[in-house]
C-alpha cells in the first residue's frame, strides 16, 4: 500500500449481515412472518471501506475475519470494489455477524455479534502501523476493541475520521484527534457525556443538535459532523474554531432501507477529504451518497460508484468533476 496522498485506510469491523425484511417491526414477545431474508457483506469498517473505494479513493482495510465460509461472504464486495485486503487477518474465531431487521418504512434494527472483530486490538493494529501511518485519511468506528481504536489513532499521521458508533469508552485524546468526529444526535450526547466524565445515563438525550456540536467543539474536538438522517447533516468547525455551524440538507428521496446509509456517508466523506476537498464540500458530497444508498436494499450493494448519478442538484463532485 503506497503512502501517496489520496489514500484511505479503514481500521474496523467486517461482518456478514443477515437482513430480514418485515412489514413492521415486532413488539417485545411478538412473532411476525417476514417477507424475505438475505445474507450480505457488512460491518461498519467494511461498509465504509467499500463506500470510499467506490467513490474513487485508494482504500485499504485493517481488520479480522474468521477461518470460515462466512468470511467469503463478508469480503466479497471489499475485493470486488478494489479494497486492499493485505492487512485483513484470518483468526480462530467466527466471522462477525449482524442480524438486521428492515421494516417497510425503511427503518431498521441491528444486533451485532463481534466474533473475529474482537481480534482487531492494539497488537493487530500495531502490525499494520506502517499502512495506517501512510494514509491521508484514517477511518475508525466503535465495532472493534477500544485499544485497537486508540492504537490506530496514535499511529495515524494523516487526518482521523472518527465515527464513534457504537459509542464505546476511549481515551479523551482519541476523541480530540478526530477531524471530524462523525456521530448521530444520540451518539453526540453520549460522547459529550464521556468527555464530561458523566455516566452515560446522564447523557443529554433530546438536547438540540446545535448545542451538542458547540459543546463538543468547546471540549476541543477539532470538527464535528452530526448526521441527521433524512434531514442531512450539521457541521461544526469546518473553517476552524469559532465558525458558524453549517447545515447541509439531504436530497428528498424515497427510502427503502436505511441500514448502512451512515457508513456510506462516512466512506464518501473520507474519499472526498483524501482527495483534498474542504470538510464542507465533503459533507455536501457525503449527504448525497447517503441519500443514494437509502433507495436500495442492503448496505454495501447499495453504495454508488463514480458511474452512478447521485440525487440532488448537479454540483461539483470533489472526487470526479460533476455528477
State the catalytic residues.
263
Write down the residue that cell numbers 483468526 correspond to: 91
Nearest partner of 256 among 216, 224, 292, judged by Cα: 292
Q: DSSP string spanning 145-206?
A: -HHHHHHHHHH--SEEEEE--S-----HHHHHHEEEEEEEHHHHHHHHHHHHT--GGG--TT
Nearest partner of 8 among 40, 54, 77, 42, judged by Cα: 54
> Mapped to the 3 state alphabet, what secondary structure does 110-138 carry?
EEEECHHHHHCCHHHHHHCHHHHHCCCEE
Distance CA 114, CA 119 (A): 9
Q: Is 2 helix (H, G, I), strand (E, B) or coil?
A: coil
- Stretch (H or E) spanning 214: helix 209-218
132 phi, psi to nearest 5 deg: -65, -45
116 contacts: CB under 8 Å, gap ≥ 6: 14, 64, 65, 66, 91, 93, 94, 95, 96
Nearest partner of 138 among 123, 147, 128, judged by Cα: 128
Positions of E strands within 186-279 = 224-227, 233-236, 246-248
For the chain, counts of helices (H) and of strands (E): 10, 13
Amino acid at each position: 500500500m503506497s503512502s501517496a496522498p489520496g489514500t484511505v485506510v479503514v481500521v474496523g469491523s467486517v461482518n456478514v449481515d443477515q437482513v430480514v425484511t418485515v412489514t413492521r417491526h415486532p413488539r417485545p414477545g411478538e412473532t411476525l412472518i417476514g417477507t424475505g431474508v438475505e445474507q450480505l457483506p457488512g460491518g461498519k469498517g467494511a461498509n465504509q471501506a467499500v463506500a470510499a473505494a467506490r467513490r474513487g479513493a485508494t482504500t485499504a482495510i485493517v481488520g479480522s475475519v474468521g477461518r470460515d465460509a462466512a468470511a467469503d461472504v463478508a469480503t466479497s464486495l471489499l475485493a470486488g470494489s478494489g479494497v486492499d485486503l493485505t492487512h485483513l487477518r484470518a483468526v480462530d474465531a467466527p466471522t462477525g455477524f449482524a442480524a438486521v431487521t428492515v421494516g417497510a418504512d425503511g427503518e431498521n434494527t441491528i444486533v451485532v455479534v463481534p466474533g473475529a472483530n474482537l481480534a482487531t486490538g492494539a497488537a493487530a493494529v500495531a502490525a499494520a502501523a506502517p499502512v495506517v501511518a501512510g494514509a491521508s485519511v484514517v477511518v475508525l468506528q466503535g465495532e472493534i476493541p477500544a485499544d485497537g481504536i486508540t492504537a490506530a489513532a496514535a499511529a495515524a499521521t494523516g487526518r482521523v475520521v472518527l465515527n464513534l458508533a457504537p459509542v464505546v469508552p476511549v481515551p479523551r485524546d482519541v476523541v480530540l484527534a478526530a477531524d471530524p468526529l462523525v456521530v448521530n444526535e444520540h451518539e453526540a450526547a453520549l460522547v459529550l457525556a464521556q468527555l464530561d466524565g458523566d455516566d452515560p445515563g446522564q447523557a443529554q438525550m433530546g438536547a438540540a443538535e446545535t448545542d451538542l456540536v458547540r459543546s463538543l467543539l468547546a471540549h476541543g474536538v477539532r470538527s464535528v459532523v452530526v448526521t441527521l438522517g433524512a434531514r442531512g447533516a450539521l457541521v461544526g468547525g469546518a473553517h476552524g474554531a469559532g465558525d458558524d455551524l453549517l447545515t447541509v440538507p439531504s436530497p428528498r428521496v424515497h427510502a427503502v432501507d436505511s441500514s448502512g446509509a451512515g457508513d456510506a456517508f462516512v466512506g464518501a466523506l473520507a474519499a472526498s477529504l483524501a482527495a483534498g476537498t474542504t470538510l464542507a464540500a465533503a459533507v455536501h458530497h457525503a449527504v448525497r451518497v447517503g441519500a443514494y444508498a437509502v433507495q436500495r436494499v442492503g448496505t454495501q450493494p447499495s453504495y454508488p460508484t463514480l458511474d452512478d448519478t447521485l440525487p440532488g442538484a448537479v454540483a461539483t463532485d470533489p472526487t470526479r468533476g460533476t455528477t
